[in-house]
Amino acid sequence: MAEFLQHCLNALILGGTYALLGIGLTLIFGIMKVVNFTHGELYTFGAYMVFFFVMVLGVNFFVGIAAAMILGIVLGALIEFVLLRPLRGASIDTTMLVMIGAWIALQNLEQFTWSGIAKSIDHPFPVEPLVLGAVSVSWIRIFVFLFALTLIAGTYFLINRTKLGKAMRATFQDRDTAALMGVNINRICTATFALGSSLAAAAGALLGPVFIVMPTMGDGAALKAFAIVILGGLGSIIGATVGGFILALVEELGAGYISSGYRDAMGFGLIIIILVYKPTGLFALKERIG
Amino acid sequence: MSRWFTVAWVAFLFSIPIWMTDLYFLHILITTGIFTIAAISLNLLLGYAGQLSLGHVAFFGIGAYTSALVSLGFDLEISDSYTLVFDPQPVWLAFVSGIFVSGLFGWFIGKIAFKVRGAYFVIVTISFAEVVRLISLNWIDLTEGPMALNNIPPFTLGVPGLWEQTFYQKIPNYYLVLVITIIAYIIVRRLVLSRAGRAMIALRENEALASSVGIDVTRYLILATIVASAIAGAAGGLYTHYIRIVDPDIFLFIYTVTMVIMVVTGGKGSLAGPVVGGIIFGILPELLREVASPEVQWIIYGVFMIAIVFFLPKGIVPALTAWWADRFKSDGHGGKAVRDSR
């Protein structure tokens, strides 16, 4: 029983970051109709930026995370501006090919810059875990969970309560009508991509200190994000949030009770089940955003 | 004219081992040929059926592993008391079973993945390849996991007792790969020019319209997947009996990307496209190797892929064909009028 509770707690903690990854990807797909293959690289980028600021420059840990998120916004906006803006209106396959090219280039740029050796990041939290009866959890993980929850809540607020969010929702529903009503589509797309990228960078920045940092860490993250988005339905923020927690739970229980080697394969099993029984995802609402 | 061009090309390819004595270069050509076969098969899905399958390396790897395992023999522990023992089989039988098993997986994945389209389909295919890689890594009893399958026998052809040839050397392997490439090319060409091929192109252009005129969309998509994965399995089998070692890295996503770059650069939806793209990206790494580290090479490929989509979206072969037709016509009488009227 204690073991089961521990797995559930781990899943809850991990699920927050998974949800961050999924929300970023699902927003970009919903509003821009772009399958963002660079998402995993933004995740890696966030982790390396924290490494750079904290371990190389010696900046404060929390400042490092904030800096990684801001640079994530900048890099996301740059990718959108250079690669996606000229292709507005191109078919989804065309943008996919471009994003695959960008993915390969970015990943190898990271490998080139930081070399393939795995890096670890020091954090200011005590090593002694917090023990709650039969289960225990490390302080850094609690911080990661709370920070992720804050970001998710912030994103909800941004989408549902602000003018920018309203413009995003309008663009999601009907791009042409939104443009007629005076919404600047280009600006919305840049903002969406920058926001999604920043969330991915935040996920990387949060998990970097928990695990290790290496150039290929983004591949697994991207695959998980895709699985989460399929679970929740493309374009649904609620779906991505719930999907993130479900995936984390399935992975934890699967790794704990079935086989740890297949941990990363659990997401795919979920995808197959979802596709067979409910191809549109769990949260296929009419308005799949907000 | 185009027929003579093809004949000259094939004759040239057959003549290479006669005048090319550099064995290393021959090795490059063999691996290039193997990846070209895979690219030809991917083109059937990507170029003709219009489905961006990013899990194609799974079929390549399944073909490679099946062929290796059948030729080496293996045993499967079904339960504690019963073990299924599989004796080593001749290589040609292993090769054929590799093709068969790959095709079977193609059918299975087609059944699941074609419930969805577009972005969903892409994600399902990527995940599939990743899962197959994890299985090959973790099912150590069968695949040896990261320790790899070693000492895989090379190809042997001939009539037992009369004449037999074991393909240790580069030259017979080169001819074997060349012949299989040509066979793969002919199969895809015949399929594309047939009724089924026209159905695939129709549904690529407009799926709703295609199904409204009575084309069984899913059936043709699954047919395309089966043929494409079987051919990719053949490429994997050739690879495994040539390199003679196979490990889970064969499933890395980067190989799918290589195939996609070959098809997109050469020209998706054109028969010669993957061949041209395959030759370019088979030989390019060797030229770049002197001046650039692998990471830099991959950065170049990534940027190259973006550049192709931006500036040459149809790929090299269709662009050249259009250019040639344009030039050819403007030389003759009234060619200019034809061009202007377009």
What gap in Å lies between CA B81 and CA B79, rounded to an integer?
6
Whether B303 sits inside 8 A of A101 (CB atoms) is: yes
Percent of chain B scored above 90 by pLDDT? Answer: 32
B123:A93 CB<8 A: no
B127 close contact with A: CB closer than 8 A: yes
For residues B225 and B230, give the distance between their C-alpha atoms in angstroms, rounded to a whole number: 8
* pTM (global) more than 0.80: yes
**Which residue in the set B130, B138, B295 is minimally distant from A223, CB to CB?**
B130
Measured CA to CA, the distance from residue B228 to residue B222 in angstroms comes to 10
Who contacts B279 (Cβ-Cβ below 8 Å, separation ≥6)? Answer: B32, B36
Per-residue pLDDT band for B181 (boundaries 50, 70, 90) equals very high
User: Around Cβ B307, how many Cβ atoms within 10 Å?
Assistant: 13
Place of tokens 């185009």: B2
* Residue B246 DSSP label: B
Name the DSSP letter for residue B251.
G
Partner-chain contact B52 A226, CB within 8 Å: no
CB contact under 8 A, B122 and A108: no
Give the chain A residue whose CA is nearest to the CA of B130. Answer: A265
* ipTM, 2 dp: 0.86
Cα–Cα distance measured from residue A42 to residue A47, given in angstroms and rounded to the nearest whole number: 9
Per-residue confidence (pLDDT) for residue B331, from 0 to 100 = 52
What pLDDT band is residue B98 in, cutting at 50, 70 and 90? very high
Q: For A194-198, B32-36, B158-162, which range has the lowest pLDDT when averaged over its residues?
A: B158-162
Please indicate whether, in this complex, the C-beta atoms of B264 and A108 are within 8 angstroms of each other.
no
In A44-193, where do the E strands start and end? 130-132, 135-137
Q: What is the pLDDT of residues A166-197, one digit of tens each?
A: 999 888 888 889 999 989 999 999 999 999 99
Q: How far away is chain B from the Cα of A271, in angstroms, using its nearest Cα?
A: 8
- Per-residue pLDDT reduced to its tens digit, B40-61: 999 999 999 888 888 899 999 9
B122: which chain A residues are within 8 Å (Cβ-Cβ)? 35, 96
Give the integer Cα–Cα distance in Å for A178 and B256: 38
Q: Does B206 touch chain A (CB under 8 A)?
A: no
Residue of B300, B288, B195, B130 lying closest to A266 (CA atoms) = B130
Q: How far is B100 from chain A (nearest CA, A)?
A: 23
Inform me whether the C-beta atom of residue A103 falls under 8 Å from chain B C-beta atoms.
yes
- With respect to residue A6, please indicate whether it lies within any of the assigned structural domains: no
Q: Which of B137, B299, B301 is best to mutate for the A interface (most A CBs within 10 A)?
A: B299
Give the count of Cβ contacts less than 8 A between chain A and B: 115
Q: Is B118's Cβ below 8 Å from some Cβ in A? A: yes
Mean pLDDT on B17-42: 90
Residues A76, A196 contacting (CB under 8 angstroms): yes
Residue A223 Cα, gap to closest chain B Cα (Å): 7
CA distance A177 to A169: 12
Q: Quick one: pLDDT at residue B160?
A: 67
Highest mean pLDDT: which range of A3-7, A256-260, B155-159 = A3-7
Distance from CA of A280 to the nearest CA of B (A): 9
* Max Cα–Cα distance, chain B, nearest Å: 83
Report yes or no on A287 lying in a domain: no
Predicted local confidence at residue A69, as pLDDT: 95
Cβ contact (<8 Å) for B309 and A86? Answer: no
Q: Are B301 and A106 in contact (CB under 8 A)?
A: no
Confidence check: pLDDT of A159 > 60: yes
Core vs surface per residue A125-140: b (16+ CB within 10 A) or e = eeeeeeeeeebebbeb
B253 touches chain A (CB under 8 A): yes
Cα distance from B115 to chain A (closest Cα, Å)?
Answer: 7
User: Tell me, what's the pLDDT at B340?
Assistant: 41
Written as six digits, the tokens of A67 are 């800096």
- Rounded to an integer, the average pLDDT of A212-241 is 86
The residue ranges of every structural domain in chain B are: 20-311, 314-342
Q: How buried is B157 (Cβ within 10 angstroms: 0-12 exposed, 13-18 middle, 19+ buried)?
A: middle
Nearest-CA residue of chain A relative to B114? A275
**What is the domain extent for residue A68?**
14-215
Domain assignment present for A223: no
Provide, as residue numbers in chain A, all residues whose Cβ is less than 8 Å from the Cβ of B56: none
Question: Tell me: the pLDDT tens digits for B233-262?
Answer: 999 999 999 998 998 988 888 889 889 999
- Reported as type and span, the H/E element at residue A257 is helix A237-257
Q: What is the pLDDT of residues B111-136, one digit of tens each?
A: 888 877 777 788 888 888 888 988 89
Residue A240 lies in a domain: no
Q: Does any domain span residue A269?
A: no
| B296 lies within 8 A of chain A by CB | yes
pLDDT for A286 equals 44
Tokens of B122: 């892409």
Q: Is the pLDDT of residue B329 over 70?
A: no
